[in-house]
């Protein structure tokens, strides 16, 4: 199982809106606290622990670091903490200031996209996430195209919340998923989708239609890759997030049949087997008597 571990100085809390990808500059500060984010692309999840009280203290610290050094990296990290503290408008104003001072930074564009998405302004969120991708298309394992599709779906309506639009492919509605993608293409899609889900699931509690759909599609990918236990977990998480199409139960049932050893349930002819048992017991008894008689004769010959 592959695990990607990122140690960054990000501190996080729950968000009411969908989560976009945050980016900080500083990895570890001498005076700061670092947080380990861990996610598994096979079954996305992230474990993040932080207190709101500590976030507020760190906002003050980062502000003092910036004033002492005039280093924009500290100011950018302060913006991240403002977002985690749900001070979205303050964060937007801060990043717009950074953009004017030092334009075309990937982290600024990406974090602006995040802040706008969190206040429900998906149009501006899409504008800045697109700009972030133009600056650095390789970031986040080249997965931000999925984020762009998510924002477009949010803007245009629920009818676009489907695999064809969100991840540019379909896995059909048969009992088993099917795909024309190669193994390498499936792996790349698996990694991109796992990354995007890992971030969103950290902040979005069930139920959420987009997360539910993407978890279902990741389950399909894992099933196609014959990672059946991971497929089951993703399907179950998809149901938890509100996926209701009956196809998921069909595939779960199929997976359980694949992964559970088959038990023989054929009825046995009891009279036949009971008769055979009697023959075996009887024959065994006669054999024991004959062997006993034979060894008894040999023993008697040795002594007499």
* 20/93 same-domain check: yes
3-state secondary structure of 241: coil
- pLDDT tens string 1-58: 433 333 333 333 333 334 445 664 433 333 454 433 455 677 776 555 567 888 898 8
Structure tokens of 127?
Answer: 């504008």
Q: Considering only CA atoms, which of 255, 262, 248 is closest in space to residue 226? A: 255
Q: Is residue 11 part of a domain?
A: yes
3-state secondary structure of 207: coil
- pLDDT tens string 230-249: 999 999 999 999 999 999 99
Q: Is residue 147 part of a domain?
A: no
- Burial grade of 68 (CB within 10 A; 0-12, 13-18, 19 or more): exposed
Put simply, whether the predicted model's pTM sits higher than 0.85 gets the answer no
What average pLDDT does the chain have? 78
3-state secondary structure of 21: coil
Q: Is residue 106 part of a domain?
A: no
Chain-centre distance of CA 5, in angstroms? 14
* 2/96 same-domain check: yes
Where are any strands of DSSP class E within the chain? 4-8, 35-39
Q: Decide which of 263, 279, 295 is a domain's last residue.
A: 263
């Amino acid at each position: 199982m592959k695990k990607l571990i990122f140690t960054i100085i990000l501190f996080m809390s729950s968000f009411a809106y969908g989560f976009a990808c945050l980016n900080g500059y500083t990895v570890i500060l001498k005076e700061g606290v670092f947080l380990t984010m861990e996610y598994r692309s096979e079954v996305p999840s992230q474990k993040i622990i932080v207190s709101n009280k500590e976030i507020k203290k760190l906002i003050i610290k980062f502000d003092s670091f910036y004033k002492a050094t005039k280093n924009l990296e500290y100011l950018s990290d302060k913006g991240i903490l403002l977002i985690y503290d749900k001070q979205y408008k303050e964060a937007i104003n801060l990043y717009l200031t950074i953009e004017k001072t030092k334009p075309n930074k990937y982290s600024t564009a990406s974090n602006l996209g995040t802040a706008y998405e969190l206040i429900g302004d998906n149009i501006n969120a899409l504008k800045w996430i697109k700009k972030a991708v133009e600056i650095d298309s390789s970031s986040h394992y080249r997965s931000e195209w999925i984020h762009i599709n998510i924002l477009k779906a949010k803007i245009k309506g629920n009818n676009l919340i489907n695999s064809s639009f969100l991840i540019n492919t379909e896995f059909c509605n048969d009992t088993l998923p099917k795909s024309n993608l190669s193994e390498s293409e499936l792996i790349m899609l698996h990694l991109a989708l796992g990354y995007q889900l890992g971030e969103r699931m950290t902040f979005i509690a069930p139920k959420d239609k987009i997360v539910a759909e993407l978890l279902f599609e990741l389950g399909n990918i894992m099933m196609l890759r014959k990672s059946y236990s991971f497929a089951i977990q993703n399907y179950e998480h998809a149901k938890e997030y509100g996926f209701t199409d009956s196809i998921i139960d069909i595939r779960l049932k199929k997976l359980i049949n694949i992964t559970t050893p088959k038990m023989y349930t054929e009825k046995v002819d009891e009279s036949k087997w009971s008769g055979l048992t009697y023959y075996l017991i009887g024959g065994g008894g006669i054999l024991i008597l004959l062997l006993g008689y034979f060894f008894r004769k040999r023993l008697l010959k040795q002594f007499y």
